[in-house]
Chains A and B, each alone.
Chain A
Amino acid sequence: MSLTTTPEHHVPDDGAPTGPTTPPSRPPARQAAREMDNPHQARAVKDILARIVMWSAFALAMVPLVWILWTVASQGVHMLTEATWWTGNQRNINSDDAGGGARHAIEGTLIQAGMTALISIPIGILTAVYLVEYGRGRLAKAISFMVDILSGVPSIVAALFIYAVWVTTFGIDRSGFAVSLSLVLLMIPTIVRSTEEMLKLVPNELREASYALGVPKWVTVVRIVLRTAFSGIVTGILLGLARVMGETAPLLILGPYTKNFQRDLFDGNMATLPTMINQDRGDFALVTAAERMWGAALTLIILVLLLNILGRVVAHYGSVKK
């Protein structure tokens, strides 16, 4: 509003609508019928075409998904119904022997994912908090740029980097912990990005409301901002974790398969579901090994699915109440 506004333009501020309240009148009917018929038909045709394209794209995208799920489920399901699958390991079971379990691999996958989460979550969340709530200027830009780069690093590169540092430079043996370290490199950028997005969604009015009550900034961040974004942050973390659990390259390079129980992250070889799949793939010609492979694949899919469901549940119950 400027001082040059003339009195003629003055609008009474009583809030009453000044525009016409009836819809604009239509052109005479006969003329309109001719003019409007064609565009209407053209629109209807476009609408149908767009629908066809959309539904075919959807169907096309569903084909591989359904195919994979169906193949894995139908081939692997009967392994999962055997009790030893959930309790035993593969010790003294050769490729052409039936039986044995996948518990060693399930445990390995969960332990490594747990260690990965333990390291990545605090680093990822604190980085996101810095970027959204505190970071200004060059340092923040540099960090944000590096997170971008890190999120584009292929998993095999992350694995080789850890190999170079952990095994070659420090001379420490390969182990589950080394695997976790390389997974951390893959997980941190996804946590930073998803947490950042969630923190940006918290309205600035809430921060201001808190400051105006004389609440220090860090308390505001912890108790208001992180609390409001909580469910979104947890969902992002769980989805990131599910993604990382299916990574294979770091496991092959840093944590070779073993048929035994191995719950110690610092003690050499450690079985995981992806490496178990890879192991049995080697003897795919044998029915016994192939069945184990499908079973392990289905088990991994189920684990990831459970994490996804957990993410949804947390998002639902932890979300802002209305």
Chain B
Amino acid sequence: MAKRIDVTDLNVYYGDFKAVEGVTMTVEPRSVTAFIGPSGCGKSTFLRTLNRMHEVIPGGRVEGKVMLDDQDLYAASMDPVRVRRTVGMVFQRPNPFPTMSIYDNVAAGLRLNGVRGKSTLDGIVEESLKGANLWNEVKDRLGKPGAGLSGGQQQRLCIARAIAVQPQVLLMDEPCSALDPISTLAIEDLINELKTSYTIVIVTHNMQQAARVSDRTAFFNLRATGEPGRLVEIDDTTRIFNNPSQKQTEDYISGRFG
């Protein structure tokens, strides 16, 4: 399953505004890569270029290359819809479909893409909910609305929904920032389990979280407001937090600014 991402010299724009500049990095398969950095440094923007969600925003466009194994995600012949089936995403705020039951939420990605057959769906829904550590809590009320779950459960429901379409890569944009510590712990445990089968990229504002869950960490920064964000460095997480090669990184993680 899991695939490797190679980004070369990527610039990201909102209309004429360059939000992120010159990012080159490799995201290793079956591992967790964390993006950290101050607000507005472009880490979420950059994350959204990895499944072509950035271009959903009017004026959003990129320059440069993103390779998923040997596929060029921004090739002219590449359909963004196909990219998003391969690279799933979990958002900052849990966003289950409010009109759908728990079951329907998990099955949504498959159903909306034309998968039919109750037994197939039943199997995938159960498997995905188990994969998201939610099955035991909801197995008796699969027909109840997804919006009725707690915030942490909703976020795990969203993770189940994302893995139900069997992506190669899972992008998570601050998945715990709207959750309490206990739900956060549940999601972090889940990330640890998921990395055995997926490539995971997570944006987080919480440096302890980055240290806890990730294998590699990328630090983004920007020189000043209005300037594009840049990748300062990417390295093994232990190295970034104990012995970073850049002064900026050290200042940031030691709390000297930001």
Q: Using CB atoms and an 8 Å cutoff, list the residues of chain A in contact with chain B.
A: 1-5, 7, 10, 13, 136, 203, 205-216, 219-220, 223-224, 227-228, 230, 320-322
Contacts and interface: CB of A to CB of B under 8 A. Distances in A.
6 contacts: A3-B221, A208-B56, A210-B97, A212-B91, A219-B113, A228-B99
Interface of B: 38-40, 51, 53, 56, 58, 81-86, 88-89, 91, 93, 95-99, 108-109, 112-113, 145, 147-148, 158, 161-162, 165, 206, 221-225, 255-258
A5 B112 contact: no
A214 B84 contact: yes
A228 B257 contact: no
A212 B85 CA distance: 7
Given A214-B109, A216-B81, A223-B112, A209 B95 contact: yes
Contacts of A203: 95
B58 A210 contact: no
A2 B86 CA distance: 36
Nearest to B146: A321
B97 A136 contact: no
Contacts of B257: 3, 5, 7, 10
A103 B96 CA distance: 49
B258 A213 contact: no
Contact of A214 (B82, B95, B223): B82
Given A1-B39, A3-B223, A208 B145 contact: no
B200 to A, nearest CB: 15
Contact of A7 (B51, B58, B83, B256): B256
B147 A2 contact: no
Contacts of A7: 256-257
Contacts of B86: 214
A320 B147 contact: yes
A292 B51 CA distance: 68
Contacts of A5: 257-258
B88 to A, nearest CB: 6
Contacts of B99: 227-228, 230, 320-321
A322 B53 contact: no
Contacts of B81: 214-216
Nearest to B258: A1
Contacts of B221: 3
A215 B112 contact: yes
Nearest to A224: B97
Nearest to B112: A215
Nearest to A214: B85
Contacts of A322: 145, 147-148
A4 B38 CA distance: 12
Contacts of A4: 224
Nearest to B40: A1
B82 to A, nearest CB: 7
A322 B99 CA distance: 9
A100 B93 CA distance: 64
A213 B108 contact: yes
B230 to A, nearest CB: 13
Contact of A321 (B82, B145, B256): B145
B255 A10 contact: yes
A228 B84 contact: no
Nearest to A207: B56
A136 B165 CA distance: 31
Contacts of A207: 56
